[in-house]
Amino acid sequence: MKLFKYTKQALLSTALCCYGLTAISQTIIPAPKEFFVGSDCFYINENTSLYTNLKGTAKKDFEKYLSTLAAPFNQEMKTYKNNKDNSIVFALSPSRFHESEENYTLYVNTRQIIITAPTTNGLFYGLQSLLQTIKSHSTKGAEVPCIAIKDTPRFPYRGFMMDVSRHFRSVDFIKKQIDALARYKINRLHLHLTDAAGWRLEIKKYPRLTEFAAWRPVEKWKDWWFAKDGRQYCREGSTGAYGGYYTHEEIRELVKYAALRHITIIPEIEMPGHSEEVLAVYPELACSGKPYQSGEFCIGNEKTFTFLENVLSEVMTLFPSEYIHIGGDEANRKTWESCPQCQARMKAENLKGTSELQSYLIHRIEKFLNAHGRKLLGWDEIVEGGLAPNATVMSWRGEEGGIKAVRAGRQTVMTPGSHCYFDAYQDAPNTQPEAMGGYLPLSKVYAYHPVPPGLTSEESELIHGVQANLWAEYIPEDKQYEYMMYPRILALAEVGWTFPERKSYRDFHAKALQEVEKLQASGYHPFPLKNEVGHRPESLQPIDHLARGKKVTYNAPYNTTYSARGDSTLTDGRRGDWTYSDGSWQGFISHPRMDVTIDLDSVTNLHSIKADFIQVIGPEVYLPCEIIISVSNDGKQFTEIMHLHQQVDHNRVIDFKTYGWQGNVQARYVRYQARSGLQYGGWIFTDEIIIE
Ligand code: ACM
């Protein structure tokens, strides 16, 4: 074959001079590994022919995908014979550079476009890059700048997780997201199909899962979760029933749709926790034998294994994915401590503690999956109590679980909450629809490096990739789901695909601004990046004041999980961002109030004493309902200079407020006390006590 006559040199000499990286690096998301840009163009028009050496199903599938795109690509591919002008060539070339099966090269000169790759995945990604480089349409056709790209992904696994349990999403909605994910070279779609809020997959052997466990009488998760009369399920088709599930037929269609776009759908079936909905309809699988008592399967009961294996058998007939995700997160292990069957299992299997009991279940399920040629994937709790021999770990509670996994020789997919949980606010919370809390702007997603420092090269090789998760508790609407997904998924795509030396947030941000407009024009509902407010202004600059660097005595301790920078936090001049977990906000819970005394070293003239507080209703972080500020010259006798009682507005899901005193007083010691605005406890967070 002479497909490769147009080497990079040929390309550059016929058409172009290489004039820098900016233009193209501001076009393709994720940024390719090597690229050169020329000043000339190729025009795709109705006379442009498509050629390929693909055959059979591979050719048909490629054509089928092309036919879904807007013109000028919806045409048949001819068999390649020799180079022809005004053509686009898709050439499978198994011997091409072989760093990854997803490699491709894309050459564009004034006469031809040539995409070569060792697999159809690579050809598909070459096509995606080509589609993203089409600049404009004129009478000559669609303009593509002359370029030379040689590209390969950083990680084999580049994933996105959709939570379809908390709020159900239609097949069409998922397909729409698959279209976009493919554009950004994401290759795994993990569906969180089961959870307390609803079971979402038809299982023929267990019809009650979809007749009842897929439906609830309340639409919004929040109203259902906090319902005064408890969380209930209801019959499919009953008045007001909210929910849904995917039939076998729909799943097969979805799997095919994704495969055509080189995306593997990974199903997640939760066990042994997060299973309230199953136990509500099959209560014999719960330790208590009763519905609505717990969310954990009884591991002592053989019926649990019969159920799980039957379900997984059906799942495997539907999803060809190598990985089957079995959840494994957040099981309340206490449930098993008082269960005679679980205790008997622990004794019989010589299991020390309930972590090992959970691990017993995971090991058994792994054996079952492996026997059927599949691999087990689970949240990082599966590391505890003895990691199953072939399991892959999804590290979500930071990177520790993933580090332990790779040190034990297992693969891991990094998805730490700090950088990959898209249910957090993406901008200043008071400008955003209600979210789970936290603050994860585009820049922070982009800054993520999935390989933690300190790993050996063998361990680093076991970092299989990266995934973003979009939990849907606070997302009833489809539009809002897209809003939370885009453009952050673009940043994640670049984290997963682009080599660190090619990453530049400045370039990416410019591309993302354009891409948001394209997404909008294509009917998506991304967050309008151009309106981004960004970090909390107070967090950007240190503040100087009289108490800066002065000693703080804690009359009530701070919580060790939210210690921020320890004893120096409240007088270090550094203020927090839009989330209490950023390491600048200090949290208090074990005592009824925050209570600190600051020693200014000498008696000083004071005019202002103030502190900021944050309220996030979900995790019970409240503004103060009572504040006392007092001063002293000897540190023993204090005089109250402010005592505030206030009603905290529990409807404000997120809020930031400053409380303080102004006046004239002389003192050496300042005591600041604040009590959380939740009647029975609750958190209180502050970042700095500013004295002027
Ligand atoms: C998780 O967020 N519970 C995996």
- DSSP assignment of 336-350 equals HHT-HHHHHHHHHTT
Q: Is the shortest distance between the CB of 253 and ligand 1 below 6 Å? A: no
Q: Which of 270, 271, 396 to mutate to test the pocket of ligand 1 (most atoms within 8 A of CB)?
A: 396
* 190 counts as catalytic: no
Q: Tell me how far the alpha carbon of residue 396 lies from the centroid of ligand 1, in angstroms.
A: 7
Catalytic residue among 190, 192, 274, 325: 274
Ligand 1 neighbour 672 (Cβ under 6 A): no
pLDDT at position 574: 98
Name the token pair of 242: 């909210």
**Which position among 163, 195, 277, 427 bears the catalytic label?**
195
Tell me how crowded residue 287 is: count the other CB atoms within 10 A of its CB: 23
Helix (H) and strand (E) counts in the chain: 21, 27
Q: Tell which one of 190, 274, 329, 420 to mutate to probe ligand 1, the residue whose CB is within 8 A of the most ligand atoms.
A: 329
User: How many angstroms separate the CA atoms of 548 and 559, rounded?
Assistant: 22
Selection from 433, 520, 419 nearest residue 473 by Cα: 433
One-character DSSP codes across 236-301: TTSTT-EE--B-HHHHHHHHHHHHHTT-EEEEEEEESSS-HHHHHH-GGGBTTSSTTS-S-B-TT-
Relative to beta strand 392-395, strand 375-379 is parallel
Expressed in angstroms and rounded, the spacing between residue 61 Cα and the centre of ligand 1 is: 36
User: Burial code of 613-650, b = ≥16 C-beta within 10 A, e = fewer?
Assistant: bbbbbeeebbbbbbbbbbbbeeeeebeebbeeeeebee
Yes or no: say if 38 and 9 are a contact pair by the CB < 8 Å rule.
Answer: no
Residue 179 in tokens: 């279209």
DSSP 598-660: EEEEEEEEEEEEEEEEEEETTTTB--EEEEEEEEESSSSS-EEEEEEE----TT-SEEEEEEE
Establish whether residue 421 lines the binding site of ligand 1, counting it when its CB lies within 6 angstroms of any ligand atom. Answer: no
The closest residue, in CA terms, to atom 1 on ligand 1 is 329
d(CA 160, CA 110): 37
pLDDT, tens digit, for every residue of 38-82? 889 999 998 899 999 999 999 999 999 999 987 666 578 999 877
Annotated catalytic residue: which of 219, 253, 329, 330?
330
Site to substitute for ligand 1 among 190, 379, 395, 436, most atoms within 8 A of C-beta: 379
**396 within ligand 1 shell (Cβ under 6 A):** yes
Q: Report which protein residue has its CA nearest ligand 1's atom 3.
A: 329
Which ligand 1 atom sits closest to the C-alpha of 394?
4
Residue 680 CA to ligand 1 center (angstroms) comes to: 27
Q: Which amino acid is at 639?
A: T
For residue range 171-201, list pLDDT tens digits in order. Answer: 999 999 999 999 999 999 999 999 999 999 9
211 lines ligand 1 (CB under 6 A): no
Is 356 a pocket residue for ligand 1 (Cβ < 6 Å)? no
- The CA distance from 92 to 336, in Å, is 55
Alpha carbons 67 and 114: distance in angstroms, whole number = 19
Please give the number of the atom of ligand 1 that sits closest to the Cα of 327: 4
Q: Decide if 612 contacts 656 (C-beta within 8 A).
A: yes
Note the pLDDT of residue 16: 38
Q: Are strands 141-151 and 157-163 parallel, antiparallel or unpaired?
A: unpaired
CA–centroid distance, 688 to ligand 1, in Å, is 32
The total number of residues shown for the chain amounts to 692
Q: Is 329's C-beta closer than 6 angstroms to any atom of ligand 1? A: yes
Query: Which pTM was predicted?
Result: 0.93
- The answer, yes or no, to whether any atom of ligand 1 lies below 6 A from the CB of 613, is no
* pLDDT confidence of residue 1: 33
| Cα 617 → chain centroid | 22
Rounded to 5 degrees, φ, ψ at 520 are -60, -45
Q: Does 195 qualify as catalytic in the annotation?
A: yes
Which contiguous run of DSSP H or E holds residue 180?
Answer: helix 171-183
Instruction: Report the relative pairing of strands 87-92 and 684-691 from DSSP bridges.
Output: unpaired
Pair of tokens at residue 579: 């989330």
Q: Say if ligand 1 is within 6 A of residue 34 CB.
A: no
Q: Which residues contact 431 (CB under 8 A, 6 or more apart)?
A: 533
Distance 296 CA to ligand 1 centre (A): 15
Q: What is the pLDDT of residue 15?
A: 38
Nearest-angstrom CA–CA distance, 170 and 246: 8
Name the strand (E) or helix (H) holding 89.
strand 87-92
CA 193 – ligand 1 centroid, Å: 13
Distance from the alpha carbon of residue 647 to the mean position of ligand 1, in angstroms:
34
Atom of ligand 1 nearest to the CA of 471: 2
- The reply to whether 538 belongs to the active site is no
Cβ(397) to ligand 1 under 6 A?
Answer: no
* Run means of pLDDT, 10 residues per run, the chain, 692 residues: 38 39 70 92 92 96 92 77 88 77 96 96 97 87 94 98 98 98 98 98 98 98 93 97 98 98 98 98 98 96 98 98 98 96 98 97 98 98 94 98 97 98 96 94 98 97 98 98 98 98 96 97 98 97 98 96 97 97 93 92 98 92 95 97 93 93 98 87 94 98
Please give the distance, rounded to the nearest whole angstrom, from the Cα atom of residue 18 to the centre of ligand 1: 47
Give the whole-angstrom CA distance, residue 171 versus residue 670: 60
> What pLDDT is recorded for position 10?
41
| Beta-ladder partners of 504 | none
Instruction: For residue 605, report the phi and psi dihedrals to the nearest 5 degrees.
Output: -75, 125
Report which ligand 1 atom has the smallest distance to the Cα of 396. 4
Q: Which of 673, 685, 687, 668 is nearest to 550 (CA)?
A: 668
CA-proximal residue: ligand 1, atom 2 (nearest): 396
398 lines ligand 1 (CB under 6 A): no
* Measured distance between the N- and C-terminal CA atoms of the chain, rounded to whole angstroms: 78
Q: Provide the pLDDT for residue 98.
A: 66
**Closest alpha carbon to 594 in 677, 685, 673:** 673
Nearest atom in ligand 1 to the alpha carbon of residue 469 is 2
Expressed in angstroms and rounded, the spacing between residue 221 Cα and the centre of ligand 1 is: 17
Strand pairing category for 551-554 and 593-616: antiparallel
User: Is 622 near ligand 1, meaning CB less than 6 Å away?
Assistant: no
CB atoms inside a 10 Å sphere around CB 243: 23
- Quote the ligand 1 centre to 467 CA distance (angstroms): 13
From the CA of 379, give the closest atom in ligand 1: 4
Cα 446–chain centre separation: 12
